[in-house]
Structures are given as structure tokens and as C-alpha cells.
Chains A and B, each alone.
Chain A
Amino acid sequence: MPVRRIITRRIHERPDDSWTIDAALATGGYEAFKQALGMEPEAIRGEVEAGGLRGRGGAGFPTATKWSFLPEGSYPRYLVVNADEGEPSTFKDRMLLECDPHGLVEGIAIASYTIGCNTAFVYVRGEFALGYDRLVAAVEAAREKGFLGQNIQGSGFDLDIVVHRGAGAYICGEETALLSSLEGFHGMPRIRPPFPAVEGLYAKPTIVNNVETLATLPHILAMGGAEYGAIGVERSRGTRLFSVSGTVNRPGNYELELGSTFRELIESEECAGGVLGGGQVKFFIPGGASSQWLLGEHLDAVLDMDAVMQQYGVMLGSGAVMVYDEHCCPVRVAWRLAKFFAHESCGKCTPCREGTGWITRVLHRIETGHGRKEDLDLLLDVGDNISPGLNAPFSQTTICPLGPSSVSPVVSLDKFFRDEVEEHVRLAGCPYASGARS
């Protein structure tokens, strides 16, 4: 059984009020935080390390290791929660914010206690109005119950949580852009080093963690790091939320043990239930828009963050899995992704600012019947200027990974759908739109 409900348990047990303090307390909420307050911070970090927890936002960096980069004796230090979920087709953090904000608050409290932070900031995506409301309510309720504020539970530990709203900028999901935005500037990435752990928010030591990462912490402490870490494969331990969407029967968030397969996620009855109308998976994007693509023949690939990169050059990334059946045009999907990246490019680095626009315009002319034979090679050349070598994991001529991410659809077209691009050029139009292919 690949489905395993750990961080989604409360949501399933209390579907009508999972976001309330009553539901949280009735389902073990804040017990792990109370336990944590009786532990040495280093012991908590040890449990998280034993659990093998890696960041659930996309990069997959080991959480306990990230925490260890904080310079000793340097205060204040901040925890900043990245709740700016904008990777296309990722909708897991929104669910956690709306349906289990106390799980996040408890995770923030545990992480803050562990790293020695007294003020945590949550940067919530601007469009998440309900998620913001529920998180604000959860913070207030937690304060009333004495889980936030001064001298929490008599421990001497103080913590405040400030909930902040973004305003529509995908780039702010990149941690240094997020920090710039939180400081009240344009959300533009900064060159690292210095890394945020050394010089982050207000130039103070700062840890930036994703919503799901933090929401996992109470469960690691409750289960014990060793037991949590016993789930999974290789360096991909525990469970993860996967957002499945596209031409499937039951799109949604599914929590699976790492080490399951894309086939179980996409085709099994307890998950997405297969392709609409009994059709076949033509291609799928396995880890958010920034990842390269896979084909139906790759469905047995294992949900293992490292193995998919080593074997296929793709990422599990943010856990978004977009499924396309035989009626979907890969050129149209690539063009729409390119348009997204061009729209969201912050403009700081020339290769991204100019390149994403070029990729969009060339893909658009192919899709709309004005493509030229040499266009795919032109796209690869533009892509090579943003991400030299066109490899995965990618190299980059830009500060942040947005630019290189825009190259992934182009590389995927080249790898799997060169014939379809040529068909667009030959027919002077999209074969799917004209009915030639559907």
C-alpha cells in the first residue's frame, strides 16, 4: 500500500473542522511541541536527521544539515516559512494552510525552538486568502492556548509568528527573492554566498523552510526519527505529498511513502485512478514545471529524489505531477510553460529576462503555424545561453533557477517530441487543433 497518511491524517480524520484548534488538540496537536520543549535542541536536530527529512519545497536539501549552518552565537536569528507556493500544478501547501494550519504552527514552533529563533515569519502566497485567514486564526488560537508568546509552557522559550502576504510573484518562492520581498523590496534573487543561514532576513542568520517540511516535524518527533526514517528508500525517507493533475480521473493530493512508483500514484485506484476515459499516459511532468518530462513508458520510475535525477534527469521537485493523455499537444504545453516563465522572470539577469521571451515567441509561432525548420535548434541555442550544456541537474548563467527551469520544456521537446515539432512546421499548424491527431 503506497498511500500512508502521516501529515494528512488529521485532514482525513476531521474533514469538517481539521483547521480548528479543537480538532488539532483532539488529534494529538502540540503534543510533539510539548515533548520538544523538554529536549535539548541538538537532540531534536538529531531526530530530524535520523528521520532523513529533506526539504519538500523542491530542492530536497537535508533539513537538519541546513539548520546546522547557522553560525554559533549569532542572534537574533529567524525562521522564515516559504508558503509562497507557485510552482505550476503544485497545490499541497495550500491544502496544508487551509486544512491543517495548526500542523504548520506546531512545526514552526518545534523548528524555532530547535534553532533558537524567537520571531518566525510566514510568507503566504498573496492569492491564498483563505489559507492566510486560517493560518492567522490558528496563530491566535495557539497563542490563547499558550503554545506561542512569552515563556511558553513555562519553558522560558518565547516565540511570535508573523504572517505576511505576498502579492503575486512566482519568483518570491526562491528563498533569497522571498527575503528581499519580505524586507519590502522587489522580489529579486540575491547572489549566494552569503547563504541565508549566515546572512538572511535583515542580514541576520535565517533558515528558510517549506510548509510541508515544517508540518512533517511534529510527526517525526511523535514517531521518533528512526521509525520515520524507516519509511522510504535510499536518501528519500518518509512520506511526501504529491499533487496529481491533468487528464486523470481523480486529480488531488496524495501522501505516499517515498519509494512508491509514478504508476501507483497515477494509475492506482486509491490515488489518481488512471487516465480519463481509460486512455494512456502520453507524457507527464514529474516534479513541477521546472522539471524535464517523462513518457508513459517511464511510469515505473521510483519516487526517489536522487534516482529520478540520476536515471532520467528529472526532479521530484515540488511534488507536482502533471499528466497528459494522447489528446494533449506537447508543443502547446511547452509554449504555455515558457509563457509562464517569461511572465514571472524578475528581469534581473539578462539571459533569463531576454531568453524566456525568445523561447515563448518561438514556441508560439511553431504552435500557431508559423514555425521554421530550424526553430527547435534555435530554441536549444537560446536555452544553452541560459543553461550551458542543457544538462540536468542544470548549470546556469543566472542567479536563480528560474531561467534554467524555462529550458526544461525545450529540452524535453527535443528529447521526446522532435517529430511532433517538425509536424507542426510541416502542417503549418497544430495537428491537435486541426484534428489531424485527435
Chain B
Amino acid sequence: MSFNDDNRRRARALIERYPNSRSAVMMLLHLAQDQDGWVSPEAIAEIAGMLDLTPAEVLGVCSFYTMYKREPVGKYVVSVCTNVTCLVRGGPELFEALGDHYADDPDVHVEEVECLAACDGAPCMQVNYDYHLNLTTETAIDTVDGYKSGARKARGVSGGAVGVASGGSA
């Protein structure tokens, strides 16, 4: 899908920050993903147009990085760490339990991720890139359900952080 007017303005401001416009490609992909919940072929084409790149060049960057989703994944990305600290504090078991619990829920995408740099709170997960620490299966499900019910406010699917530091406001 195309950028809405606000996001198109944000996109232009982001491009302005860099000496070379191509540098903005990752930020624009985040912006598109936060708007649409994934990076659509239309978004790739639009970003390519804004940066004077080919869609293939933008797709190439997009597919290199694991945070970008090239198909719709639902409203909530639940990232569960199973790396070597979470490994010995219940991370793999948590990942499996959440995957089973939300297997048929189209709003919840449970994924196994590498170390989230929150090992003092292992096992840990992120929901749309907000941290939740020292989890059990029960507290993790409560947390995700809290987002689903609206009791917790979720960031965008790309973390919702596209502020424009320097070079003008968004």
C-alpha cells in the first residue's frame, strides 16, 4: 500500500537527513511496515521511486533483514528469544507454548528470535518490540492477551519508532 500523507511527509524528512538518499531505505521500510503491518510490493515500489532505486534493489535490502515482513503477520509480532541464556531459563519451552497457544490466532505472530539483549530478564520476549521479562507461559499469555484486549497499547509492527531526530521535525 502507498504511504498516507503524514507518512509521506515523514518519509521525505527522513530522506533529507542523509547525505545520500539511499541511506533512508531502511527507515522507509520501517515506516511502511508500521503503517501497513508488513512491507507490501506497492510499498517497495513507492520507496524505490522516492529513492531513485529499482524495486529489486529495495526488495534486496528488505529481504536481508529479519525484522521486515514480506507478508501480513497480524497485529502483534511476539518475538521469543531462545538464545544461550534464555536456553537455560526456559526460552525454548516458552516459544513452543506460545506458538501452540496462538497457532490459530490470525492477530498473533509468534516467532523465534536471536538474543534480544535482555538476558537479565530471561526468559524474555518482545511484543511489537516492547520488552517483557522473567516470563512464565502464564504471564506471557496474559501479556499478549492484554495487548489483544486493548489493556496494553502496542507499538507498530516495526516498533513504531520513526521519529526524525535532526534535520527537521516529522
Chain A positions near chain B (C-beta within 8 angstroms): 85-91, 93-94, 119, 125-130, 132-133, 135-137, 139-140, 143, 148, 160-170, 181-187, 202, 243-247, 251-253, 285, 289, 320, 322, 324, 327-328, 332-333, 336-337, 340, 343-344, 346
Could you tell me if A167 and B26 are in contact, using CB atoms closer than 8 angstroms? Answer: yes
CA distance A132 to B158 in the complex (A): 12
Residues from chain A with a CB closer than 8 A to the CB of B82 are 336
Q: Does residue B118 face the partner (Cβ distance < 8 Å to A)?
A: yes
Could you tell me if B23 and A127 are in contact, using CB atoms closer than 8 angstroms? Answer: no
The contact string, 1 if C-beta is below 8 Å from chain A, for chain B 26-62, is: 1101100000000000000000000100000000110
**Can you pick out 28 interface pairs between chain A and chain B where the beta carbons lie within 8 Å of each other?**
A86-B117, A91-B118, A125-B117, A126-B30, A128-B117, A136-B164, A162-B166, A165-B162, A168-B65, A168-B113, A169-B64, A169-B66, A170-B114, A183-B20, A183-B22, A184-B61, A187-B64, A187-B65, A243-B119, A243-B120, A246-B85, A251-B121, A251-B122, A252-B120, A253-B120, A320-B119, A328-B88, A336-B87
Q: Does residue B165 face the partner (Cβ distance < 8 Å to A)?
A: yes
Chain B positions near chain A (C-beta within 8 angstroms): 17-20, 22-27, 29-30, 51, 60-61, 64-68, 79, 82-85, 87-89, 113-122, 126, 128-131, 155, 159-167
Nearest-CB distance from B62 to chain A (Å)?
A: 9
Could you tell me if A324 and B114 are in contact, using CB atoms closer than 8 angstroms? Answer: no
Could you tell me if B120 and A127 are in contact, using CB atoms closer than 8 angstroms? Answer: no
Mostly, the A contact residues are mixed
Set A119, A164, A186: member contacting B27, Cβ < 8 A: A164
Residues from chain B with a CB closer than 8 A to the CB of A136 are 161, 163-165
Could you tell me if A324 and B88 are in contact, using CB atoms closer than 8 angstroms? Answer: yes
Nearest-CB distance from B159 to chain A (Å)?
A: 4
Nearest-CB distance from B57 to chain A (Å)?
A: 9
CA distance A56 to B131 in the complex (A): 25
Set B23, B84, B87, B162: member contacting A183, Cβ < 8 A: B23
Set A161, A167, A186: member contacting B67, Cβ < 8 A: A167
Closest A residue to B116 by CB, please name it. A127
Q: A162-B18, A184-B23, A202-B19 are in contact. Are A340 and B159 (CB under 8 A)?
A: no
Q: A182-B23, A251-B122, A322-B85 are in contact. Are A126 and B117 (CB under 8 A)?
A: no
Closest B residue to A246 by CB, please name it. B85
Closest A residue to B66 by CB, please name it. A168
Known: A167-B29, A252-B120. 19 other contacts (CB 8 A): A91-B118, A94-B118, A127-B67, A143-B166, A163-B163, A165-B30, A165-B162, A166-B26, A167-B26, A167-B67, A168-B65, A169-B66, A184-B51, A245-B120, A247-B88, A253-B120, A322-B85, A336-B87, A343-B114
Residues from chain A with a CB closer than 8 A to the CB of B117 are 85-86, 90-91, 93-94, 125, 127-128
Mostly, the B contact residues are loop
Closest B residue to A143 by CB, please name it. B166
Could you tell me if B115 and A88 are in contact, using CB atoms closer than 8 angstroms? Answer: yes
**Leading 3 A-B pairs by shortest Cβ distance:** A245-B119, A167-B65, A184-B22
Set A129, A253, A322, A328: member contacting B161, Cβ < 8 A: A129
Nearest-CB distance from A347 to chain B (Å)?
A: 9
Residues from chain A with a CB closer than 8 A to the CB of B51 are 184
Set B20, B87, B115: member contacting A184, Cβ < 8 A: B20
* Residue with the highest number of chain B CB atoms closer than 10 Å, among A132, A247, A253: A132
CA distance A217 to B60 in the complex (A): 38
CA distance A257 to B1 in the complex (A): 53
CA distance A247 to B123 in the complex (A): 12
* Residue with the highest number of chain B CB atoms closer than 10 Å, among A91, A167, A344: A167
CA distance A128 to B65 in the complex (A): 15
Closest A residue to B22 by CB, please name it. A184
Nearest-CB distance from B64 to chain A (Å)?
A: 5
Q: A126-B65, A245-B85 are in contact. Are A181 and B165 (CB under 8 A)?
A: no
Residues from chain A with a CB closer than 8 A to the CB of B17 are 162
Q: A91-B120, A184-B25, A253-B120 are in contact. Are A167 and B68 (CB under 8 A)?
A: yes
Closest A residue to B58 by CB, please name it. A184
Q: A132-B159, A246-B85 are in contact. Are A251 and B120 (CB under 8 A)?
A: yes
Closest A residue to B161 by CB, please name it. A132
CA distance A128 to B96 in the complex (A): 24
Nearest-CB distance from A406 to chain B (Å)?
A: 13
Set B83, B122, B126: member contacting A127, Cβ < 8 A: B126
Residues from chain B with a CB closer than 8 A to the CB of A185 are 22, 61
Could you tell me if B84 and A166 are in contact, using CB atoms closer than 8 angstroms? Answer: no
Residues from chain A with a CB closer than 8 A to the CB of B79 are 127
